Amino acid sequence: MTLQQSSISLIQYTEAYKPFLEDYHLPEEQLMFTMLPIEKIHNPKVTSTSNHVLILDGDRPVGYFALEDGAKVQKYSDNPRARVLTSFSIDSTFQGKGLAKKALQLLPSFVNEELPEVNEIVLGVNKKNVAALNLYIKMGFVDEGEIVDGTKGPQHVLHLYL
């Protein structure tokens, strides 16, 4: 299923999109907080039942995120019906056009359609990544004051209740 807002849609990753993702670029200052889509998709630490999601503008991938399950969820939530949103990014070529905001607006509907058993999305945002923190809060994620240790420093834990 594809959910769409204007020309922006969210779809499950398939190998057909691999060539697009091999040409995906992020600036160094963003790579300190996330990983490139191809690296995440092929990361052996990510469970095979996690969902890899592309953000499309028309039919071109412009962004990516994962909705992870498994032990990683327990770092952020006790809810067995939660998923962790990780590696959210927009290719540097397409940044500054409001695409991240549009994708996050589609997220609740996408999860309800694709993962109806999920009732919460959680994530960790590095305390130094103020732009991302502000975006997530503006888009409905709730900061309940929880902080966890991340690989690159302390992270705010944010919740989106569906």
Contacts for 134 with CB less than 8 Å, ≥ 6 apart = none
pLDDT bracket for residue 1 (50, 70, 90): low
Q: CATH number of the domain that 17 lies in?
A: 3.40.630.30
Q: What is the mean pLDDT of the chain?
A: 92
Torsion of Cα atoms, 77 then 142 then 111 then 55, to 10°: -120
CA-to-CA distance for 92 and 31, rounded, in angstroms? Answer: 11
Angle at CA 61, nearest 5°, toward 59 and 63?
Answer: 140
**Distances in whole angstroms, Cα of residue 140 to Cα of each of 13, 16, 107:** 25, 32, 11
- Residue-level pLDDT at 54: 97
Provide long-range contacts, Cβ within 8 A and 24+ apart, for 42-51. 51/12, 51/83, 51/114, 51/115
Residue 117 in 3-state DSSP? coil
Please give the residue range of the domain that contains residue 156. 3-161
Does the pLDDT of residue 65 top 90, yes or no?
Answer: yes
Q: How many domains does the chain have?
A: 1
Angle at CA 98, nearest 5°, toward 93 and 99?
Answer: 65
The pLDDT tens digits for 68-108 are: 999 999 999 999 999 999 999 999 999 999 999 999 999 99
